Structure 1
Amino acid sequence: MLAKRNGFSLIEVMVSLVILTVGLIGVFNLHIISKQGSYESFQQTQASYFANDIINRMRMNRSELTNYQGSYSGTTSAPAKACDVIVGGNSTCSSVETRLWDLYQWERMFQGDNEKSSGTNVGGLDSSVACVDINGRDVTVVMTWRGVRASSDGLSEGSTFAKNCGTSSDRRRALVIETAII
């Protein structure tokens, strides 16, 4: 009579381990790609917030609307007067002082000055540039930043104004908002 053998052979165990390893590597790669996608989505949300922030600031200071036009990359120096809104009272700043303060604060936000780790900015957008174009009451705000992975240029099919905002590259991401301030 032949003896009946139960259990697994060493070869079966090795094949099972190889299959398990290949599957786990795939799961880990999927996790990395999903984290990159999540971060790209977070950057897009931040860019939308920053663009809407400056639009709201312009709405609050309509008399200086045309003077908000320009290209901003975090180089604006602090104005002589801080014009934060005083709780329970009015600000004592002129509309020009308010515009200068608005632009300074806005640049600090999208450059990440509000979040620091060991003295280094960790918030905001990576290598960000913002451009504002005013044509009468029509306002175009373009936010550009450097994405995590290479793809196509975020403004390869944009308007001439938008294309000139930031540096063209395969990692440039962009958000363009067009609105009217009445």
Structure 2
Amino acid sequence: MSMNGLVDTIQQRGPLMIGDRGFSLIEGMIAGAILAVGLLGISGMQAMTFSRNVDANELTRVTTLATDIMDRIHFNRRNVIAYNGIDTSVACTINATTQPMARGDCDQWRALLSSTFAANLTGLRGQVAVTVTGPTVPPLNQNLVVLTMTWTGTTGANKTARPRQIILRSVVAPE
């Protein structure tokens, strides 16, 4: 190819257009900044999700422990009042001679609250209060059972302790 042929080829292509130069430095920096903000947002959401997951795990385990004793109370509905005053931070005070089922339920529930299922639930405590409710004339023998579970929960990677509580209420009537 001669020199004239090369010059002819360059002239046919014409001068470069302004829009044909590719990315400029400023466009690349803006794209990088947008990407960085997006990645920071994603990492922040991941940390928050982990924290909520820890809370949900604790709440699920405590609710399972609470429903265990509530199911036992419903099963022994004729002797509901015997469960009044249960506090897992002290020994069971239910008379084992007159109320063997309620005493056994209390002992088993206390053991469950100190088992490996309740691990990492610092200061877990369960309290049961039973009060007679409903009309007295005619007597319906309904009892309101209030179950309170308290513990010190943790959240996130830094393990910040904070008090937590759930309360279950149920009306129990004899069959």
**Normalised by the size of structure 2, how large is the TM-score?**
0.60
Establish whether residue 109 from structure 1 lines up as the match of residue 112 from structure 2. Answer: yes
| Residue in structure 2 matching 1:66, options 82, 88, 91 | 82
Match of 2:52? 37
Q: How does 1:76-155 map to 2 (within 5 A)?
A: 96-114=99-117, 121=119, 125-136=121-132, 137-148=143-154
Structure 1 residues 40-76: Cα deviation after superposition (integer angstroms, max 9, x where no partner):
2343333332222101112333437424523224x65
Q: Aligned AA for 1:107? A: R
Q: Aligned AA for 1:72? A: T
Structure 1 residues 63-95: Cα deviation after superposition (integer angstroms, max 9, x where no partner):
37424523224x659xxxxxxxxxxxxxxx977
TM-superposed CA distance for 1:23, in Å, is 1.1
Contact 2:62–2:149 (8 Å) recurs in 1: yes
Q: Matched residues in 2 for 1:97 and 1:113: separation? A: 26
Q: Matched residues in 2 for 1:65 and 1:51: separation? A: 18
- Structure 2's unaligned 5+ residue stretches are 1-13, 133-142, 156-160
Match of 1:173? 164
Query: Using a 3 Å threshold, how does the CA distance of structure 1 residues 8 and 112 change in structure 2: closer, same or farther?
Result: farther
Q: Matched residues in 2 for 1:28 and 1:111: separation? A: 36
**Normalised by the size of structure 1, how large is the TM-score?**
0.58
Match of 1:167? none
Q: Which has the larger radius of gyration?
A: 2
Q: Matched residues in 1 for 2:101 and 2:62: separation? A: 22
Q: Matched residues in 1 for 2:41 and 2:29: separation? A: 19
Query: Using a 3 Å threshold, how does the CA distance of structure 1 residues 15 and 104 change in structure 2: closer, same or farther?
Result: farther
SS in 2 for 1:99: helix
Q: Tell me the number of residue pairs that the alignment of Structure 1 and Structure 2 aligns.
A: 139
Structure 1 residues 6-51: Cα deviation after superposition (integer angstroms, max 9, x where no partner):
2223343233222211211111111221232233234333333222
Q: Matched residues in 1 for 2:115 and 2:51: separation? A: 19
Q: Matched residues in 2 for 1:21 and 1:58: separation? A: 56
Identity of matched residues, %? 24
Q: Matched residues in 2 for 1:112 and 1:30: separation? A: 33
| Residue in structure 1 matching 2:42, options 14, 22, 27 | 27
Contact 2:86–2:106 (8 Å) recurs in 1: no
Query: Using a 3 Å threshold, how does the CA distance of structure 1 residues 112 and 34 change in structure 2: closer, same or farther?
Result: farther
Contact 1:64–1:95 (8 Å) recurs in 2: no
TM-superposed CA distance for 1:133, in Å, is 0.8
Q: Matched residues in 2 for 1:141 and 1:76: separation? A: 17
